[in-house]
Amino acid sequence: MKFSWRIILLWTLPALLVGFFFWQGSMAGNANDMGNNSASTRMTYGRFLEYVDAHRVQSVDLYEGGRTAIVQATDPQLDGRTQTLRVDLPSNAPELVAKLRQEGVILDSHPVRSEGAVWGFLGNLIFPLLLIGSLFFLFRRSSNMPGGPGQAMNFGKSRARFQMEAKTGVMFDDVAGIDEAKEELQEVVTFLKQPERFTAVGARIPKGVLLVGPPGTGKTLLAKAIAGEAAVPFFSISGSEFVEMFVGVGASRVRDLFKKAKENAPCLIFIDEIDAVGRQRGAGIGGGNDEREQTLNQLLTEMDGFEGNTGIIIIAATNRPDVLDSALMRPGRFDRQVIVDAPDFKGRLKVLEVHARNKKLSPDVSLEAIARRTPGFSGADLANLLNESAILTARRRKEAITILEIDDAVDRVVAGMEGTPLVDSKSKRLIAYHEVGHAIVGTLVKEHDPVQKVTLVPRGQAQGLTWFTPSEEQGLTTRSQLTARICGALGGRAAEEEVFGHAEVTTGAGGDLQMVTSMARQMVTRFGMSDLGPLSLEDQAGEVFLGNGLMNRSEYSEKIATRIDAQVREIAEQCHQRARQIVRDNRVVIDRLVDLLIEKETIDGAEFRQIVAEYTEVPEKEQFTPQL
């Protein structure tokens, strides 16, 4: 539809020109009848009557239905010679003809030519015909475009991409770091290839498999691998493609999708982001979309209704399982839920090995070291990390990726792009004390994660950063570890207060204080780590569109709320005082580290701990030793 107006103008302008010329021809039809009799001199009607009364008019030829007359008259001023004159006659002059006959004037009437009417009719008809033809041409042209007007009758048809033999280019060997999920899904492939192994013992393959996990963990990649391994017909569609502005279209598309699937059974159907159509029904505000609910009802019926769908396996993916309707999650529809979580150390190492296949790495690059310093990274994050490293390598005109590009890529992925270096000023020194405060507290508190590096290079919104490396793959967190993290977060504010005074503290600790308040409140209200006892007083905040946000009221009295606030404040204040004491006791080494940081702008964790060990005893922390 991009060139539709251009095409309409291209068709209509010639039509207008042709119609104009036809109109001109019809208007000139009668004038051509006058031929050589066309008068070069015009005469008024009154003057014409005077000529008739003076017996000077010899003949009169009437044209255009009596509106125009060509008169042959003698003029005494021209020695009685005959001249041809043109007279425009009034429409209401019936006595003129009688008067001309009475004077013996030769009178003749010329009827209107029929060709002029024909040309006028054709001129009026040609424009609508050309306009209709151009619109028909546009309609046919756009009918071949996806979503064009020609698709108006196909709203109810499924838009799922269909492949008789899916050639996704992805196999199970290309999916790493999520071995448990792969094992669950390999059974689906085995059933499609060798169903007798299961039916012989009375087993029934799950009708639906729901892949659940955070974004970027490989849910869609797993679906591609299943399609590539199974070698059966494969339908893929997004949940948002079912829903349209027209009521009933989504349900019609669901019916059409399962109709096609039945014709090609056994087959796979992959629905990505199923939460777009599978949210809870009747959940209050934001949940009254009747079209979406009709689509969900039809999907529930097709998956497990009165009529079964033998041989159709549905695989769906979502990162919001909490919003899905309970009827969709029950056995018989989605019998199996596969958790696709962020990979652990072994998983990250395997993911890095997969994505490093086509990367040229320097011999000094250790994938184990990269996996160790990237806890919490998803598969997509790790792929992006190596890709950013390759881009930096090409930009710096190096032949292979070195550890320097890896470090810069990690910093860029986590904190953002590198900013302009700070100039040596009071502000830079204040930021240096703030970051060294974080690092010194994190180093001297035993339960805190070890420092990886301290830098004054701005990244994103941060003017300086202190990186910590987790000492182990933590599934659970102890109370001492939480209080150590709170102390480390308050180390920057503590250094500002001890060095510059209470009046010179800055807004740089704003994000740290938010984290401190959140962790301390969770310790009190969710984890039972306070004097209030082992009580869980608050749940995680619900979503408003699920009807939970307005109904989630605190189930404790105002007295308990006051005690909660007091406990949160007490935890934060105790950690704050501990951080200030550490900064006060180690002021000499802090000053040295600040001078070194301003000079080098970045201090490595090992160098930082070595300098601190010269002045005080550094507690020995548990180092993470991965089991390969």
**Catalytic positions:** 435
Report how far residue 275's alpha carbon sits from residue 264's, in angstroms, rounded to the nearest whole number: 26
Q: Provide φ and ψ at 401, rounded to 5°.
A: -75, 125
Q: Which 3 state secondary structure label does DSSP give 202?
A: coil
Answer yes or no: are the C-beta atoms of 193 and 268 closer than 8 Å: no
Report how far residue 337's alpha carbon sits from residue 339's, in angstroms, rounded to the nearest whole number: 6
Peptide bond between residue 149 and the one before it cis (omega within 30 degrees of 0):
no
Q: Which 3 state secondary structure label does DSSP give 161?
A: strand
Answer yes or no: are the C-beta atoms of 33 and 110 closer than 8 Å: yes
Report how far residue 261's alpha carbon sits from residue 268's, in angstroms, rounded to the nearest whole number: 8
Residue written as token pair 């949160």: 568
Q: Provide φ and ψ at 268, rounded to 5°.
A: -115, 140
Report how far residue 31's alpha carbon sits from residue 63's, in angstroms, rounded to the nearest whole number: 9
Report how far residue 576's alpha carbon sits from residue 14's, in angstroms, rounded to the nearest whole number: 83
Q: Report the first-to-last Cα separation within the chain, whole angstroms.
A: 58
Nearest of 243, 326, 251 to residue 289 by alpha carbon: 243
Q: Provide φ and ψ at 207, rounded to 5°.
A: -70, -35
Estimate the crossing angle of helix 510-525 against helix 558-585, to 10 degrees: 130
Which uninterrupted H or E stretch holds 338? strand 336-339
Answer yes or no: are the C-beta atoms of 451 and 467 closer than 8 Å: yes
Amino acid at 48: F
Count of other CB atoms within 10 angstroms of residue 266? 17
Q: Provide φ and ψ at 418, rounded to 5°.
A: -75, 135
Answer yes or no: are the C-beta atoms of 328 and 299 closer than 8 Å: yes
Q: Where are the alpha helices (DSSP H) in 80-232?
A: 95-102, 114-143, 179-193, 196-199, 219-230
Report how far residue 432's alpha carbon sits from residue 114's, in angstroms, rounded to the nearest whole number: 100
Report how far residue 263's alpha carbon sits from residue 260's, in angstroms, rounded to the nearest whole number: 5
Answer yes or no: are the C-beta atoms of 536 and 526 closer than 8 Å: yes
Strand 451-455 and strand 465-468: the pairing is: antiparallel
445 half-sphere exposure, CB direction, 13 A CA radius: 31
- Please, which residues bridge with residue 210 across strands? 316, 337
